[in-house]
Structure 1
């Protein structure tokens, strides 16, 4: 591959390949990565959406539901840690992304074959291991290939647009309808197909990004940049550990919501499966919109304000489920949904704006706080830590509390997690280029 000149700011730091990439290629890159991550989440969310069908068939307890979500998060996190570092080490991002995409697609097929909790648990562990490396590699590609003035928006779209349109919206709506017409097993088989197409598109249409080490060598700083950064060293940087702590709390919030909300609405609130699928699907529409809105706002006003405010706004969702009585809403509303679902949709829509900060704490702030050669490593650290401590521990703990105190207990857990994360985010140092320019400051990546 031809060598591209690196962009260098006043401090002499190599910033990436974006100056040689056309706007059209930058857009294509972001959209394909967004599509691919959307298919990742379509497969990941499939079990949550199908849980009202799977739970009675396999006789799962609330704790087992939590373990299924936590198990996938655990293997996802391990893969995020090590595939990110592998990507930095060998400088091969595209091929690793293609391999991971094919692997997680095959694991969705395995989920449809499950005949017991242990079988399903093993299938989800394998799926998490295949999917975990996708996001850090994707964000590292965006960080080096896209103009940093649009980095927040680009990473927001790459992580949130496809994942929410396909994973959070299409998955419950399409798979619940398919499971109703056929069975939940056939729905898993259907979920396995799109990833194979996505892998082919990435292989044919994207080029391998130039390794950061080559970029550094071009500006005569290879000796300084070549050394790999360790996880403990990265965590000494303030923005890194704040992002990790906020990420742990909000990933737990996200995974707990999806692990328990669909089943709770059907089994406890008495909502029909059709209304449930569209209600939780509204979260996907909301988050897809916020992938543009929140990330774009953070590019203009800064990362910190949105990171602090939006967790508090998310309280509206659990409060709405707790205090609105389904019996008070009779008849059908929009699209033939139950009246209860129709009232909850705008509440969920507003509260789920918090989903727009996920790429900010997982990717944008870490990538703006470290040099390009370390991006996949620190992004893997951010994403892996969030999954290990939030995605792994959160759902089983919420399941245990549900079994002990009632199926609505997870709603109170969601509110506690949101409030703490909002306060912790107050410790962030601003990294958005536009916000720093207004203050007369410059970025100083570690």
Structure 2
């Protein structure tokens, strides 16, 4: 997997070699843990919603608005905070301040006594959290050696967020809410971030200043969207981010209210998604390295249909339903591919940073913001099964778009070119 989209920023410093492997591992692990706690906070409202909704007397439309609001400020913050960090030439304080801010927002969520107060807390949380990952990536680029940078970035973004935010969160928060109330769940979610903020401040250095090539031309959006793969990846991002966010927002409610599962059972069913995502984040791209991006994108996009269909219609063993959830959520492993890898392999590497930002921003704003609100409105009109049908439509449409992708995996492209070159000689 290529990491050209972050390579240009760090090549001028040689910073990756300035610290030993131990420090590079610690930077990656700590930032991954911090992002995992961030996702723990972000997802807490979804797993606690079966307790929050009746207490605050929320409609399903209002439930969807929480995810929409956070996604909106998350996307805007991701663009603004990264630019502010570059202008200030400071990264570590930005991550620390943002971490403390989203912890405070989790406390405010626990104290919320109305829809508007909780909505305001989610808006502020998105603003605090959105810039953490871009700045964390910049820190990794500056500190980790180029030959390990791609793996480090994958671990920082995927491992902690999936294992903690999607895996541990429902297992831990649901029993707490059942025992002592949902507000305590929010307070509990806030505490670990204060610990990682302190660790980042006291154990990580401010990365060395990056050297930029002033001769590099400014990239326009027209240039960014000149390649078919980029357009398709942006559209796929809208659909699969919608699939992801709608599942987080409404699957816990569907399982408890429509299917009648106990909150504890819902919690560990949702936890299987985190385990699946943690494994898929590495396994799925690795398979695509060997057999190609296009077939893997096609297969896993269509595979995503089994999760909503299983939740809607499977009436057998809960363990089998957990296996359906685990397998269907394997499409989560596609996210780094369509958000970064395929665009990076399809165009001039100098355009990669812009393309990655465009694809991620498009998916988060159009998918993450609009889809939960739409799903909530559908749920109010047609019942809690409607959001699951929306998930089904999204993954089928995404699968259809993947059929138009041009293969970009270097190893596969090289294999295809070899016979042609041999014939030419």
User: TM class, shorter-chain normalised?
Assistant: 0.7 to 0.9
Q: Distance in 1 between matches of 2:7 and 2:275?
A: 36
Q: Distance in 2 between matches of 1:428 and 1:90?
A: 39
**Deviation (angstroms), 1:234:** 3.0
Seen in structure 2, the aligned counterparts of structure 1 residues 318 and 24 have a Cα distance that, compared at 3 Å, is same
Seen in structure 2, the aligned counterparts of structure 1 residues 233 and 419 have a Cα distance that, compared at 3 Å, is same
Seen in structure 2, the aligned counterparts of structure 1 residues 208 and 357 have a Cα distance that, compared at 3 Å, is farther
- Work out whether residues 398 and 409 of structure 1, in 8 Å CA contact, stay in contact via their aligned partners in 2: yes
Q: What is the aligned partner in structure 2 of residue 381 from structure 1? A: 358
Q: What is the aligned partner in structure 1 of residue 255 from structure 2? A: 265
- Work out whether residues 368 and 431 of structure 1, in 8 Å CA contact, stay in contact via their aligned partners in 2: yes
Query: After superposition, where does 1:46-65 map in structure 2 within 5 Å?
Result: 46-65=44-63
Match 2:373 to one of 396, 403, 406: 396
1:223 matched to 2:214? The reply is: yes
Q: What is the aligned partner in structure 2 of residue 36 from structure 1? A: 34
Q: Distance in 2 between matches of 1:97 and 1:231?
A: 28
Q: Distance in 2 between matches of 1:74 and 1:67?
A: 10
* 1:379-431 deviation digits (Å, cap 9, x = unpaired): 44332221110010001111111222221011111111112212323444555
TM-score, normalization by structure 2? 0.87
Q: Distance in 1 between matches of 2:342 and 2:12?
A: 18
Tell me how large the CA RMSD over aligned residues is: 2.9
- Work out whether residues 153 and 296 of structure 1, in 8 Å CA contact, stay in contact via their aligned partners in 2: no
Q: What is the aligned partner in structure 2 of residue 129 from structure 1? A: 127
- Work out whether residues 103 and 191 of structure 2, in 8 Å CA contact, stay in contact via their aligned partners in 1: yes
Extract unaligned runs of 5+ from structure 1: 1-5, 217-221, 330-338, 442-446
**Deviation (angstroms), 1:118:** 0.8
Seen in structure 2, the aligned counterparts of structure 1 residues 86 and 191 have a Cα distance that, compared at 3 Å, is same
Seen in structure 2, the aligned counterparts of structure 1 residues 268 and 298 have a Cα distance that, compared at 3 Å, is same
Q: What is the aligned partner in structure 2 of residue 93 from structure 1? A: 91
Q: Distance in 2 between matches of 1:26 and 1:233?
A: 35
Query: After superposition, where does 1:279-290 map in structure 2 within 5 Å?
Result: 279-290=269-280
Seen in structure 2, the aligned counterparts of structure 1 residues 28 and 309 have a Cα distance that, compared at 3 Å, is farther
Seen in structure 2, the aligned counterparts of structure 1 residues 304 and 157 have a Cα distance that, compared at 3 Å, is farther
Q: What is the aligned partner in structure 1 of residue 3 from structure 2? A: none
Extract unaligned runs of 5+ from structure 2: 1-5, 419-425
TM-score, normalization by structure 1? 0.83
Describe the SS at the equivalent of 2:259: coil
1:253 matched to 2:251? The reply is: no
Q: What is the aligned partner in structure 1 of residue 170 from structure 2? A: 172
Q: Distance in 1 between matches of 2:129 and 2:373?
A: 21
Q: Distance in 1 between matches of 2:291 and 2:30?
A: 28
Q: Distance in 2 between matches of 1:368 and 1:203?
A: 36
Q: Distance in 2 between matches of 1:164 and 1:349?
A: 13
**Deviation (angstroms), 1:373:** 7.8
Q: Distance in 2 between matches of 1:37 and 1:97?
A: 10
- Work out whether residues 62 and 376 of structure 2, in 8 Å CA contact, stay in contact via their aligned partners in 1: yes
Q: Distance in 1 between matches of 2:85 and 2:294?
A: 29
Q: Distance in 2 between matches of 1:279 and 1:159?
A: 23
Q: 20-29 or 308-317, which moves further after superposition?
A: 20-29
Q: Distance in 2 between matches of 1:359 and 1:312?
A: 17
Q: 134-143 or 256-265, which moves further after superposition?
A: 134-143
Seen in structure 2, the aligned counterparts of structure 1 residues 407 and 277 have a Cα distance that, compared at 3 Å, is same
1:192 matched to 2:182? The reply is: no
Q: 26-35 or 243-252, which moves further after superposition?
A: 26-35
**Deviation (angstroms), 1:96:** 2.0
Alignment length (residue pairs)? 411
Q: Distance in 2 between matches of 1:375 and 1:26?
A: 24
Q: 142-151 or 193-202, which moves further after superposition?
A: 142-151
**Deviation (angstroms), 1:309:** 2.1
**Deviation (angstroms), 1:211:** 4.5
Q: What is the aligned partner in structure 2 of residue 45 from structure 1? A: 43
- Work out whether residues 253 and 384 of structure 2, in 8 Å CA contact, stay in contact via their aligned partners in 1: no
Describe the SS at the equivalent of 2:158: helix
Describe the SS at the equivalent of 1:223: coil
1:297 matched to 2:274? The reply is: no
1:120 matched to 2:118? The reply is: yes
